[in-house]
Chain A
């Protein structure tokens, strides 16, 4: 690890101004990806700006018919939140399956989302649940936030402060864990928003995506039968030594069916 200057601002505005003034700064939230990267000397920022001391960024609250999760809220806190469990259990379920206990107590919803790992769980949660990414500058719908492999709509200097989740009628998350890393080989979030059904998939492609044919079928008839025959095209899906594209395509349908079946 190269030497760097460490900052721990107490307010988002201070973090933003450091981002503007330092030579080659990096924000650090839980550090679950950044720390290994630094240790392997694959990133060598001059300055690390730790968001951990900004109290406003932590915690879960309800605002009207929305649940607002602070960007620095760790996965374990989302998974255990009474508020999340009683309003969006699918989100708690997702958070509780991320990584291992150590990761869940360090990793944050903002950090994970900003990193946009194609196999991370949260992208499926955000997109499936129609979330809005709140930054220090604007609000970005999740559908527009994840733009590609490790790529988001965030502009330089922009800091995620919270995620806003409209409370759905029902949601469920199913995941096939990677045997080594615990990341999603495939993760499927199925959500009945009240105005229709959304099916968001992570792990299978270069970035989170929705399965329009399933959404359409489930919006008309919310049943396993209605999506049973829907096959996802393997073209363009990820393939590696642990899972072929054809396997991933097949697993999407299996997990979507199981999520739907879980609705009693």
Chain B
């Protein structure tokens, strides 16, 4: 409807506010009487804490209090534990250690908080934190993902005896071995899926205020929706009723999954506010982002694919080692399986699938959900296998995929992981991406590059993901007496543009003008009780559906009121473009909203107002399945090993596109993060568990110069399992980019016979691979 309805490239309402410095972030919040909290963090990767001497620090200027883990324990403060429970095939459960908010007895990774210092100023707190003397006995440590499965590796949790928390398998391997043995062609890949530091633009922060008179605890913090954190803090940590815990996030500078978590620091800051009787402000810095925000990815994969004489896959075996870090994050251990990797084996129709996952402990920052959360890893693995299969069978890279993708006539298709894929045009995605990238004309471009001493390569990557996250989301829509609409949401826009898209939906469904719609979010006091938040590419679907149903309820109620106003039958009232009509008479929804405030205008027994909520609930199988195909073209300077992207075509099926301008933004951002993983980003620990990439001086973020123009296209296939027809859009780019890029680089390097280089494909690594290939040839 109109220029602001569904499908229109409406400019973002929130941008003027955010881009002119009017956003209100947690660090902008100050409360009278606040003290500043600074955490004392472990410089050790693995050590026994013999003693913590706070005497000197307590005497320092401005210091109000210093608390350690013992103070928390003495006050009955709760601990953090993962939500995940898994078992091996014999039923032996996963080892699930609890995490104390402040390290107690032992530290298990560099950066782990050990104490908090409260002082009148930030500088005083920092200075005093340096005076807290922790006596450590250093222990041997382990940082390596692959190394942690070695029984002789130093145990992070000696009480468990092994760094392998569980060996999860989907079935006995022998069931698949019989199929693998009949394969005509077998290929294997070994992949290190590199650990990433998510690095939202805004570092973490928290301001907590406890009102002793009412018992109300209020926490300001960047989140992805406060409802989940509220529950965890109230019940699990502070042991107070949930309605005495309020979480407020006004604006948040990026989430990517990791801002949705209940971090120990949040619990400490709240508790310290209650204990000290002063509001407490913690202003985390970028160093703390690197050593205490949850990290992403970090898997080691070994996989084997068996194919018959027609290039059809007959068996797949995947062995994944997942580095969970020193403690288990909320979702971390299940990321390769049900958490995000649930989509494995990707867009392909593979019946015989064996999957083994070993989540391992190491003395590193815990890992958890980061844009894609298991799906980029799963898709990357499948696409590397397909490239290897193409190489081994002599089939073209697109042909091997065409022979194995799930076809539209097979849908709905039940995957090996128990998901029902409702829709998707996987062949069409490839056709569209190859056509728009001029795949056919590549050879001519390659020759041109060759003349200039450059290697040129082209690659493609298919992907599918499963979007949705948590099973409920409640939305509320109200039209006030002034005719303006307000959406009350527990979904939380931390960059996504909900203010804009939700207003488009309201204009579409209720005819209230775009500019008359506002969004109230980011406060557990106003968000509906059944809300969960924004993550897992779920807000357009679950939030959108909640708005749809709430709007339907408003129209239904409005018809009853309009019937009375128009003195007609309710059945005779129709609603279109914000106008209720019956016969020759009509009233606008604004008039109805105004009338709805007066009981005299209402049918007998009706509550005043136009104010409706709907709690969207889904069954576990009703995820939706964003998918696509990305094609990347690169040019490599072989003397320096630099790979430069020279062309990028992204075909995405996000179902019905509510706002192409905003979805393009999601696609670009996801691709940037995917290319970051593949080209520049890497988190490196040394053998002693010291973080070697602890700042932007060493940790390479993707920059504009690494990209070419991105041609972002939609192959829109309406989702069949929700009324809006939408699929998620937030994580697609990060799923598609790594495989397309790596495929392109390997294609460029094929004259040297190079099959694989682990991400990130830095100049040093590419040059070394070329040098090794040359010397192998010479030998």
A residues adjacent to B (C-beta < 8 A):
1-3, 40-41, 176, 179-181, 241-244, 246-247, 250-251, 254
Contact residues on B (Cβ < 8 Å of other chain), bracket: 20 to 34
A174-B130 Cα distance, complex, nearest whole Å: 43
Asked if residues B764 and A180 are in contact (CB atoms below 8 Å), the reply is no
Asked if residues B700 and A180 are in contact (CB atoms below 8 Å), the reply is yes
A40-B126 Cα distance, complex, nearest whole Å: 10
Least CB distance from A232 to B in Å reads: 14
Chain A residues near B287 (CB, 8 Å)?
A: 40
Asked if residues A181 and B696 are in contact (CB atoms below 8 Å), the reply is yes
Chain B residues near A1 (CB, 8 Å)?
A: 123
With contacts A179-B762, A244-B768 known, is A254 near B639, CB below 8 A?
yes
Identify 14 residue pairs between A and B in the complex whose beta-carbon atoms are under 8 Å apart, listed by A's number: A2-B123, A179-B700, A180-B699, A180-B700, A181-B696, A242-B762, A242-B764, A243-B764, A246-B771, A247-B763, A247-B764, A247-B767, A250-B767, A254-B639
A1-B123 Cα distance, complex, nearest whole Å: 7
Asked if residues A180 and B767 are in contact (CB atoms below 8 Å), the reply is no
Least CB distance from A109 to B in Å reads: 21
| B680 is an interface residue with CB less than 8 A from chain A | yes
Asked if residues B126 and A180 are in contact (CB atoms below 8 Å), the reply is no
| B640 is an interface residue with CB less than 8 A from chain A | yes
Least CB distance from A183 to B in Å reads: 8
With contacts A176-B763, A179-B700, A180-B700 known, is A241 near B692, CB below 8 A?
yes
Asked if residues A241 and B698 are in contact (CB atoms below 8 Å), the reply is yes
- Per the 8 Å Cβ criterion, residues 657-699 of B in contact with A are 680, 682, 684, 692-693, 696-699
Asked if residues A180 and B698 are in contact (CB atoms below 8 Å), the reply is yes
Q: Which of B126, B684, B767 has the most C-beta atoms of chain A within 10 angstroms of its own C-beta?
A: B767
Binding site of A, secondary structure by majority: helix, strand, loop or mixed? Answer: loop
With contacts A1-B123, A254-B639, A254-B640 known, is A180 near B696, CB below 8 A?
yes
Q: Which of B127, B639, B640 contacts A2 (CB 8 A)?
A: B127
Chain B residues near A2 (CB, 8 Å)?
A: 123, 127
A243-B642 Cα distance, complex, nearest whole Å: 12
Chain B residues near A180 (CB, 8 Å)?
A: 680, 693, 696-701
Chain B residues near A179 (CB, 8 Å)?
A: 680, 700, 762-763
Asked if residues A244 and B764 are in contact (CB atoms below 8 Å), the reply is yes
Least CB distance from B734 to A in Å reads: 19
Instruction: List 5 other contacts, CB 8 Å, given A1-B123, A242-B700.
Output: A41-B126, A179-B700, A180-B696, A243-B763, A247-B641
Chain B residues near A254 (CB, 8 Å)?
A: 639-640
A243-B697 Cα distance, complex, nearest whole Å: 14
- Per the 8 Å Cβ criterion, residues 139-180 of B in contact with A are none
Least CB distance from B111 to A in Å reads: 15
Chain A residues near B692 (CB, 8 Å)?
A: 241
A153-B123 Cα distance, complex, nearest whole Å: 35
With contacts A2-B127, A41-B126, A242-B762 known, is A251 near B680, CB below 8 A?
no
A79-B701 Cα distance, complex, nearest whole Å: 26
A242-B641 Cα distance, complex, nearest whole Å: 12
Chain A residues near B640 (CB, 8 Å)?
A: 176, 251, 254
With contacts A251-B640, A254-B639, A254-B640 known, is A181 near B767, CB below 8 A?
no
Name which residue of chain A comes closest to B692, CB basis. Answer: A241
Name which residue of chain A comes closest to B637, CB basis. Answer: A254
Asked if residues A241 and B696 are in contact (CB atoms below 8 Å), the reply is no
A251-B639 Cα distance, complex, nearest whole Å: 8
Least CB distance from A185 to B in Å reads: 8
Least CB distance from A25 to B in Å reads: 20
Name which residue of chain A comes closest to B696, CB basis. Answer: A180
A104-B382 Cα distance, complex, nearest whole Å: 44
Least CB distance from A160 to B in Å reads: 25
A247-B771 Cα distance, complex, nearest whole Å: 10
Q: Give 1 or 0 for each of B740-779: 1 = CB within 8 Å of chain A CB.
A: 0000000000000000000000111001100100000000
A232-B122 Cα distance, complex, nearest whole Å: 50
Least CB distance from A20 to B in Å reads: 28
A244-B640 Cα distance, complex, nearest whole Å: 13
Least CB distance from A213 to B in Å reads: 19
A59-B126 Cα distance, complex, nearest whole Å: 40
Chain B residues near A241 (CB, 8 Å)?
A: 682, 684, 692-693, 698
Least CB distance from B288 to A in Å reads: 12
List the 6 closest A-B pairs by CB distance, nearest first: A179-B700, A180-B700, A181-B697, A254-B639, A243-B764, A247-B764
Asked if residues B768 and A247 are in contact (CB atoms below 8 Å), the reply is yes
Least CB distance from A62 to B in Å reads: 34
Least CB distance from A180 to B in Å reads: 4
Chain A residues near B682 (CB, 8 Å)?
A: 241
Chain A residues near B127 (CB, 8 Å)?
A: 2
Q: Give 1 or 0 for each of B404-435: 1 = CB within 8 Å of chain A CB.
A: 00000000000000000000000000000000
Name which residue of chain A comes closest to B697, CB basis. Answer: A181
Q: Which of A40, A179, A181, A247 has the most C-beta atoms of chain B within 10 angstroms of its own C-beta?
A: A179
Name which residue of chain A comes closest to B123, CB basis. Answer: A1
Least CB distance from B195 to A in Å reads: 13
Least CB distance from B673 to A in Å reads: 16
Q: Which of B123, B698, B764 contacts A181 (CB 8 A)?
A: B698
Chain A residues near B767 (CB, 8 Å)?
A: 247, 250
Chain A residues near B130 (CB, 8 Å)?
A: 41
A257-B701 Cα distance, complex, nearest whole Å: 30
Q: Give 1 or 0 for each of B698-739: 1 = CB within 8 Å of chain A CB.
A: 111100000000000000000000000000000000000000
Chain A residues near B696 (CB, 8 Å)?
A: 180-181
Chain B residues near A242 (CB, 8 Å)?
A: 698, 700, 762, 764
Name which residue of chain A comes closest to B705, CB basis. Answer: A177
Name which residue of chain A comes closest to B680, CB basis. Answer: A179
Name which residue of chain A comes closest to B639, CB basis. Answer: A254
Chain B residues near A250 (CB, 8 Å)?
A: 767, 771
Name which residue of chain A comes closest to B642, CB basis. Answer: A176
Chain A residues near B762 (CB, 8 Å)?
A: 179, 242
A179-B287 Cα distance, complex, nearest whole Å: 19
A246-B763 Cα distance, complex, nearest whole Å: 13
Q: Give 1 or 0 for each of B517-533: 1 = CB within 8 Å of chain A CB.
A: 00000000000000000
A181-B700 Cα distance, complex, nearest whole Å: 7
A254-B771 Cα distance, complex, nearest whole Å: 14
A213-B700 Cα distance, complex, nearest whole Å: 34
Least CB distance from A42 to B in Å reads: 12
Chain B residues near A251 (CB, 8 Å)?
A: 640
Least CB distance from B290 to A in Å reads: 12
Chain A residues near B700 (CB, 8 Å)?
A: 179-180, 242
Name which residue of chain A comes closest to B686, CB basis. Answer: A241
Name which residue of chain A comes closest to B130, CB basis. Answer: A41
A261-B768 Cα distance, complex, nearest whole Å: 25
A241-B698 Cα distance, complex, nearest whole Å: 9
Chain B residues near A3 (CB, 8 Å)?
A: 123
Name which residue of chain A comes closest to B682, CB basis. Answer: A241
A264-B700 Cα distance, complex, nearest whole Å: 35
Q: Which of A180, A244, A254 has the most C-beta atoms of chain B within 10 angstroms of its own C-beta?
A: A180
Least CB distance from B104 to A in Å reads: 27
Q: Give 1 or 0 for each of B104-141: 1 = CB within 8 Å of chain A CB.
A: 00000000000000000001001100100000000000
Chain B residues near A243 (CB, 8 Å)?
A: 763-764
Chain A residues near B693 (CB, 8 Å)?
A: 180, 241
A242-B696 Cα distance, complex, nearest whole Å: 13
A247-B770 Cα distance, complex, nearest whole Å: 11
Chain B residues near A41 (CB, 8 Å)?
A: 126, 130
Least CB distance from B376 to A in Å reads: 20
Name which residue of chain A comes closest to B767, CB basis. Answer: A247
Least CB distance from B452 to A in Å reads: 13
Name which residue of chain B comes closest to A251, CB basis. Answer: B640
Chain B residues near A244 (CB, 8 Å)?
A: 764, 768
Least CB distance from A97 to B in Å reads: 12
A170-B242 Cα distance, complex, nearest whole Å: 73
Least CB distance from A39 to B in Å reads: 8
A162-B165 Cα distance, complex, nearest whole Å: 63
Q: Which of B130, B287, B698 has the most C-beta atoms of chain A within 10 angstroms of its own C-beta?
A: B698
Name which residue of chain B comes closest to A239, CB basis. Answer: B764
Q: Give 1 or 0 for each of B457-490: 1 = CB within 8 Å of chain A CB.
A: 0000000000000000000000000000000000
